[in-house]
């Protein structure tokens, strides 16, 4: 009876794996069959087409006990959904190769193996020593990592005892380290039940990953794109990237951008209905009220969902907070609340002052944290992380100042205006400089650039309200906003070719803000030009929001990908060494040539050299 | 340079060597000035101290002069009846006179020492001038003199002697301004992005103090001119420091207390503009609020100062002057906006600055040894690499 032995592999094996592929390319007689640890039994019988078999002798470093052993690797195209293997970091092996061996001597015991699963020890000396020596001979550089041994199935007992349960709990366990309570709870429960989870099992590897938040450098290294939300091809996510994660994990903080967009529209339509320059349009206030109720409902919905996410997936929220772009979106809920208060169908002066203090307190605390990070240097200093989304942390000050001035407060609005102005100047200069140390600015224009218009337009309105009239300071700020708007609008051609994301809603409120500022200016200086400008800009803002709404509906109902897997929170803490190979194993098409080429072109110098050395060595072997 | 410091090392061996951290050791001159009844040290060792004494010690005189000005401002009662004014008025004038004398004595002693250092150890002074942190403290003596001038109880701002003294103290500041600010944008290795550090705020504060004194004197144009120079360079410096192009390695960890200058500059600007515009208008309020925010931001980051707080050094005196200036600005704010909350704020900040200064004086009296220098902080051996080598 053939036993399935499980191998804990290491870098030379992976290198040999690469060689396998090359071997496949060269000669069709090499077949690779790899099975996941969980699915050997079932897939062996049910899905033979998934396997490619290769004689183990051809693999450098494998221990060949005499008989022809077959190594099975699953075809990368469609891994079975239940048994997607979790990713490891570079200290542990991502894949479990299962080695079919003839009936093994009784020396292989399950207990022996469980403890030796990830610790590199010579467990079965007779069998592994030649292999070990071979590996040592082939890659002296990786001496400390060259231990590997053939072992029976790691979790065979578990599998035999409770196969269906294993399948269920595996799926949950992968997301456990991101969960606030369940992960620890499950571990405690399984400890109580007498099946202590191996500390070095794959799941706890993930929790090791998530014990600490990745450093800022890791975010920049692992992610790319104008919103830093796309995983680089050389990176591996901690969570499986080929299936849909739980909804809460996919719900980003940038969803609050929707509320920003809709609530600012409510304020715009309120201004259109009440301001003298546009009164001739006879816009009804009902539109503003309807929009306001819609935004209120949306705010309630989004905050409920995000609150649940905070309760159940605190780790994911923490990682979002340390993301260079997403950190700014933590201001969005409070700015949206400020907009809601401003657009409410009640008189501003009637609102209790406590509401203002209550809404500004979280903004103040967030500011202390984020601006302090800019000032004290370190890895989150401004010259490194500056990006247009930082405007979201500045605009909150001006929106608060505007609302406070409308409510009749005096000192508080000036406080926040001063703080906002000082930091806005810093950010403005930094972004205009496009420092070489700054990697987050997209080379091409992206809707995020519209955030440039937000701060000056709201600042002009706030200053006008603080001083009681639209004086020169407010005009200066307004004209700056107008100029920035124009310089972005004429470059509309460059805003093409970007993947839609929910954060785009947040980029519509600057347009709306500019329209409201134009109406405020037109109230002061009323002539044909200003009226035309106010109507024109309001029209553009409304059309943009409507278009965005259509696109969002399209993504929700037709494409069903409004909430894609949020890979930006699932990056590894350390750069995985052979992740490129694995990533391609798991996700690439069956075109092996591409894989070979991509492996050889790996930019990671470590894997490059080792791959090449093992590839050359592998070539010499057979 | 190295031979000089090398030859002086045996003389300095009597002091316990405690590492060669930059600019955080002090001279026994402080002992002499703080406790005049103690016998002065040996002449030879005094000359040894001169090498180690540097302009950073003027932080002490800055702190004391600032305190004197604060007490003067608080005890200058306005005609408006105010619940807290009697409290401030009850500060005994004898205490204020004592403080003023102490400040004057300290300043005179430190200036004498530094003059001796200029005469006897001129290469050291030149090296200090070329250092990106040290050169800012060359403004410190003049700031202290101007503050003391404003705090003088018996000298009214309209008198000719006041005018004369103002000119005497402002001209060096103007000269240093032209030199330092010119370097920022013209000279190769001294570009602002390379040399900017929180101590550079001293240059800005110097301009602003000059502007305030000129405004008090009645010379409006000069005041606005100095304010304009200070404000323009403050803007540039603020942006540059926030960008942190070079990370946090522009300043040694022992000098972290100098970060408090971040909120000293806007407070001083608020005071200066208040004197120029004769009222605490919106601009002054904005500057004051900015400095309050920066103060809150720094105070909520105690880990930033952890390393500097392990050992007492003259850098600790850098805490006092910014707090005093903030309290001064709060006093002006409270007078401009007659609200109870503002008065409470003013009182809290004033008490804080007094406590901090007293604590520092106590520390200095008891731990004078640790203020003694162990190394010439500006010798080529101990300087960080960004300094240009002396001739």
Query: pLDDT tens, A376-406?
Result: 767 777 777 888 889 999 999 999 999 999 9
Report yes or no: A429 at the B interface, CB cutoff 8 Å: yes
> Distance between CA A451 and CA A466 in Å, rounded?
23
Interface of B with A (CB under 8 A): 235, 238-239, 241-245, 247-249, 259, 262, 282, 285-287, 289-290, 292-294, 296-298, 300-301, 304, 337, 339
Which is more confidently placed, B271 or A179?
A: B271
Over 70: is that where the pLDDT of A20 sits?
Answer: no
Mean pLDDT of chain A: 72
Cβ contact A382–B282 (<8 Å): no
What pLDDT is recorded for position B191?
A: 72
Beta-bridge partners for A51: A74
Q: Which residues of A fall within a CB distance of 8 Å from B235?
A: 425
Cβ contact A368–B296 (<8 Å): yes
Q: Which residues of A fall within a CB distance of 8 Å from B304?
A: 376
What pLDDT is recorded for position A504?
A: 85
What pLDDT is recorded for position A230?
A: 77
Over 60: is that where the pLDDT of A611 sits?
Answer: no
Q: Which residues of B fall within a CB distance of 8 Å from A377?
A: 244, 247-249
- Nearest chain A residue to B293, by CA: A419
Over 50: is that where the pLDDT of A87 sits?
Answer: no
Q: Which residues of A fall within a CB distance of 8 Å from B289?
A: 414-415, 418-419
Cβ contact A435–B245 (<8 Å): yes
CB of A455 closer than 8 Å to CB of A392: no
* C-alpha distances out from residue A30 to A14, A62, A100, B196, B234, Å: 16, 15, 16, 64, 71
Q: Which residues of B fall within a CB distance of 8 Å from A425?
A: 235, 238-239
Report yes or no: A368 at the B interface, CB cutoff 8 Å: yes
Cβ contact A383–B244 (<8 Å): yes
In chain B, beta strands by DSSP E? none
What pLDDT is recorded for position A53?
A: 61
Over 50: is that where the pLDDT of B235 sits?
Answer: yes
What pLDDT is recorded for position A305?
A: 93
pLDDT in tens, B185-218: 776 666 777 778 889 999 999 999 999 999 999 9
Percent of chain A with pLDDT over 90: 28
> Distance between CA A307 and CA A299 in Å, rounded?
12
Over 80: is that where the pLDDT of A529 sits?
Answer: yes
Q: How confident is the model at residue A431 (pLDDT cuts 50, 70, 90)?
A: confident
Over 50: is that where the pLDDT of A505 sits?
Answer: yes
**Which of B242, B249, B294 is the closest to A426 by Cβ?**
B242
Q: Which of A342-356, B75-89, B360-374 has the highest mean pLDDT?
A: A342-356
CB neighbours of residue B185 within 10 Å = 10
- Mean pLDDT throughout A320-325? 87
- Mean pLDDT throughout B221-250? 84
The complex's ipTM? 0.75
- Mean pLDDT throughout A231-257? 80
Q: Which residues of A fall within a CB distance of 8 Å from B241?
A: 375
Task: Give the residue carrying structure tokens 């009214």.
Answer: B156
Q: Which residues of B fall within a CB distance of 8 Å from A471?
A: none
pLDDT in tens, B206-215: 999 999 999 9
Cβ contact B239–A368 (<8 Å): no
**Terminal CA-CA length for chain B:** 9
For an interface test with A, which of B297, B299, B304, B336 has the most A Cβ atoms less than 10 Å from its Cβ? B297
User: A63 Cβ partners below 8 Å, 6+ apart?
Assistant: A127, A128, A130, A131, A149, A150
Q: How confident is the model at residue A622 (pLDDT cuts 50, 70, 90)?
A: very low
What pLDDT is recorded for position B265?
A: 96
Mean pLDDT of chain B: 80
For an interface test with B, which of A365, A377, A428 has the most B Cβ atoms less than 10 Å from its Cβ? A377
Report yes or no: A119 at the B interface, CB cutoff 8 Å: no
What pLDDT is recorded for position A61?
A: 55
Phi-psi region of A260 (alpha: psi -120 to 50; beta: other; left: phi over 0): alpha
User: A436 Cβ partners below 8 Å, 6+ apart?
Assistant: none
Q: Name the least confident of A190-204, A291-305, A474-488.
A: A190-204
Tell me the torsion sign for CA atoms B263, B264, B267, B273: negative
Beta-bridge partners for A52: A73
- Mean pLDDT throughout A289-298? 94
Cβ contact B244–A414 (<8 Å): no
Q: Which residues of A fall within a CB distance of 8 Å from B248?
A: 376-378, 381
Over 90: is that where the pLDDT of A521 sits?
Answer: yes
Chain centroid to Cα A330, Å, comes to 15
Q: Name the least confident of A21-35, A595-609, B93-107, B271-285.
A: A21-35
Report yes or no: A467 at the B interface, CB cutoff 8 Å: yes
CB of B25 closer than 8 Å to CB of B17: no
- Mean pLDDT throughout B379-388? 42
What pLDDT is recorded for position A329?
A: 92
Percent of chain B with pLDDT over 90: 46
Q: Name the least confident of A21-30, A289-298, B272-281.
A: A21-30
Report yes or no: A535 at the B interface, CB cutoff 8 Å: no
Q: How confident is the model at residue B161 (pLDDT cuts 50, 70, 90)?
A: very high
CB neighbours of residue B191 within 10 Å = 14
Q: Could you tell me the two tokens for B6?
A: 């090398």
Q: Work out the minimum CA distance from B290 to partner chain A, whole angstroms.
A: 5
Cβ contact B242–A375 (<8 Å): yes
Three-class SS of A18-56: HHHHHHHHHCCCCCCCCCCCCCHHHHHHHCHHHEEEEEH
For an interface test with B, which of A422, A423, A434 has the most B Cβ atoms less than 10 Å from its Cβ? A422
What pLDDT is recorded for position A76?
A: 46
CB of B223 closer than 8 Å to CB of B251: no
What pLDDT is recorded for position A392?
A: 92
Identify the three-state secondary structure at position A105.
coil
CB of B265 closer than 8 Å to CB of B234: yes
Q: Could you tell me the two tokens for A429?
A: 């200069």
Which of B200, B268, B202 lies closest to B237 in space, CA to CA?
B200
Over 50: is that where the pLDDT of B184 sits?
Answer: yes
Q: Could you tell me the two tokens for B124?
A: 């050291």
Q: How confident is the model at residue A466 (pLDDT cuts 50, 70, 90)?
A: very high
Chain centroid to Cα A491, Å, comes to 29
Which is more confidently placed, B216 or A500?
A: B216
Cβ contact B290–A437 (<8 Å): no
Over 80: is that where the pLDDT of A130 sits?
Answer: no
User: A74 Cβ partners below 8 Å, 6+ apart?
Assistant: A33, A34, A35, A36, A43, A50, A51, A80
Report yes or no: A381 at the B interface, CB cutoff 8 Å: yes
Q: How confident is the model at residue A56 (pLDDT cuts 50, 70, 90)?
A: low
- Nearest chain B residue to A420, by CA: B290
Kindly state the DSSP code that residue A237 receives in the 8-state scheme. B
Q: Which residues of B fall within a CB distance of 8 Å from A382?
A: 242-244
- All structural domains of chain B, each given as residue ranges with its CATH number in brackets, are 51-370 (1.50.10.150)
What pLDDT is recorded for position A364?
A: 96
Task: Give the residue carrying structure tokens 């306001």.
Answer: A292
Cβ-Cβ contacts under 8 Å between A and B: the total is 80
- Nearest chain B residue to A379, by CA: B247
Which is more confidently placed, B252 or B79?
A: B252
């Amino acid at each position: 009876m053939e036993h399935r032995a499980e191998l804990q592999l290491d870098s030379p094996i992976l290198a040999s794996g690469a060689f396998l592929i090359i071997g496949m390319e060269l000669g069709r007689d090499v077949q690779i069959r790899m099975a996941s640890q969980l699915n050997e039994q079932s897939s062996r019988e049910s899905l033979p087409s998934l396997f490619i078999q290769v004689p183990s002798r051809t693999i450098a470093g494998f221990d060949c006990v005499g008989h022809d052993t077959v190594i099975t690797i699953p075809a990368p195209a469609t891994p079975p959904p239940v048994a997607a293997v979790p990713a490891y970091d570079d200290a542990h092996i991502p894949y479990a190769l299962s080695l079919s061996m003839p009936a093994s001597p009784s020396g292989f015991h399950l207990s022996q193996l469980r403890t030796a699963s990830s610790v590199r020890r010579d467990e079965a000396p007779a069998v592994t020593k030649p292999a070990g020596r071979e590996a040592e001979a082939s890659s002296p550089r990786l001496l400390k990592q060259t231990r590997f041994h053939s072992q029976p199935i790691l979790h065979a007992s578990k599998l035999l005892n409770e196969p269906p349960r294993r399948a269920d709990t595996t799926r949950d366990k992968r997301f456990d380290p991101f969960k606030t309570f369940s992960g620890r709870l499950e571990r405690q429960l399984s400890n109580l039940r007498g099946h202590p989870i191996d500390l070095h099992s794959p799941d706890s590897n993930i929790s090791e990953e998530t014990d600490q938040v990745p450093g800022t450098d890791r975010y920049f290294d692992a992610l790319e794109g104008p919103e830093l939300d796309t995983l680089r091809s050389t990176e591996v996510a901690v969570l499986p990237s080929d299936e849909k994660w739980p909804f809460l994990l996919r719900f980003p903080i940038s969803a609050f951008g929707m509320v920003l967009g809709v609530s600012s529209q409510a304020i715009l339509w309120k201004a259109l209905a009440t301001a003298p320059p546009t009164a001739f349009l006879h816009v009804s206030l009902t539109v503003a009220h309807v929009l306001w109720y819609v935004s209120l409902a949306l705010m309630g919905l989004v905050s409920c969902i995000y609150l649940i996410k905070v309760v159940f997936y605190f780790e994911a929220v923490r990682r979002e907070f340390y993301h260079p772009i997403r950190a700014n979106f933590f201001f969005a809920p409070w700015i949206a609340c400020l907009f809601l208060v401003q657009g409410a169908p009640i008189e501003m002066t009637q609102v209790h002052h406590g509401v203002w203090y209550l809404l500004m307190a979280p903004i103040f605390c967030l500011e202390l944290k984020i601006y302090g990070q800019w000032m004290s240097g370190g890895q989150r200093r401004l010259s490194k992380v500056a990006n247009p989304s930082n405007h979201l942390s500045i605009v909150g000050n001006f929106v608060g100042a505007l609302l406070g001035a409308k409510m009749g407060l005096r000192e508080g609005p000036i406080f926040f205006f001063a703080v906002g102005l000082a930091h806005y100047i810093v950010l403005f200069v930094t972004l205009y400089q496009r420092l070489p140390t700054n990697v987050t600015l997209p080379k091409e224009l992206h809707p995020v650039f519209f955030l440039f218009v937000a701060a000056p337009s709201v600042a002009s309105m706030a200053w006008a309200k603080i001083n009681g009239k639209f004086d020169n300071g407010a005009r200066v700020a307004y004209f700056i906003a107008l100029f920035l708007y124009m310089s972005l609008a004429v470059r509309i051609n460059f805003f093409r070719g970007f993947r839609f994301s929910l954060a785009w809603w947040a980029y519509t409120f600057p347009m709306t803000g500019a329209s409201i500022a134009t109406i405020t200016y037109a109230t002061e200086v009323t002539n044909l030009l200003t009226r035309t400008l106010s109507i024109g800009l309001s029209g553009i803002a409304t059309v943009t929001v409507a278009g965005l709404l259509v696109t969002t509906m399209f993504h929700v109902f037709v494409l069903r990908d409004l909430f894609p897997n949020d890979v930006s929170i699932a990056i590894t803490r350390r750069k995985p060494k052979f992740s490129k190979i694995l990533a391609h194993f798991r996700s690439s098409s069956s075109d092996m040539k591409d894989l070979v080429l991509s492996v050889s072109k790996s930019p990671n110098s470590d894997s490059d050299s080792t791959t090449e050395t093992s590839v050359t060595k592998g070539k010499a072997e057979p | 340079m190295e031979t000089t410091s090398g030859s002086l090392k045996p003389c300095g061996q009597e002091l316990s060597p405690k590492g060669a951290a930059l600019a955080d050791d002090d001279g026994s001159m402080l002992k002499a000035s703080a406790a005049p009844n103690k016998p002065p040290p040996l002449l030879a060792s005094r000359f040894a101290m001169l090498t180690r004494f540097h302009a950073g010690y003027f932080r002490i005189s800055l702190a004391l002069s600032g305190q004197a000005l604060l007490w003067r401002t608080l005890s200058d009662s306005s005609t408006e009846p105010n619940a807290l004014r009697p409290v401030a008025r009850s500060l005994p004038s004898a205490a204020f006179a004592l403080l003023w004398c102490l400040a004057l004595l300290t300043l005179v002693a430190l200036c004498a020492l530094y003059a001796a250092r200029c005469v006897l150890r001129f290469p050291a002074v030149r090296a200090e001038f070329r250092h990106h942190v040290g050169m800012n403290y060359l403004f410190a003596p003049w700031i202290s003199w101007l503050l003391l001038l404003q705090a003088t109880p018996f000298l009214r701002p309209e008198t000719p002697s006041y005018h004369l003294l103002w000119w005497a103290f402002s001209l060096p500041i103007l000269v240093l301004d032209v030199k330092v600010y010119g370097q920022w944008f013209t000279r190769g290795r001294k570009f602002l992005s390379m040399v900017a550090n929180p101590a550079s705020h001293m240059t800005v504060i110097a301009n602003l103090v000059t502007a305030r004194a000129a405004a008090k004197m009645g010379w409006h144009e000069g005041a606005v001119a100095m304010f304009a120079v200070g404000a323009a360079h403050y803007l540039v410096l603020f942006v540059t420091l926030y960008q942190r192009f070079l990370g946090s390695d522009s300043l040694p960890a022992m000098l972290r207390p100098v970060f408090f200058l971040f909120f000293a500059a806007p407070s001083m600007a608020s005071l200066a503009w208040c004197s120029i515009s004769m009222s605490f208008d919106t601009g002054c309020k904005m500057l004051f609020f900015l400095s309050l925010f920066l103060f809150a931001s720094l105070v909520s980051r105690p880990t930033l100062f952890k390393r500097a707080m392990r050992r007492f050094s003259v850098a600790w005196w850098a805490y006092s002057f910014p707090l005093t200036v903030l309290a001064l600005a709060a006093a002006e704010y409270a007078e401009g906006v007659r609200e109870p909350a503002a008065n409470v704020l003013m009182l809290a900040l004033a008490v804080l600055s007094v406590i901090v200064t007293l604590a520092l004086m106590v520390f200095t009296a008891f731990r004078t040894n640790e203020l003694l220098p162990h190394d010439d902080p500006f010798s080529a051996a101990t300087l960080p690499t960004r300094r240009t080598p002396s001739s």
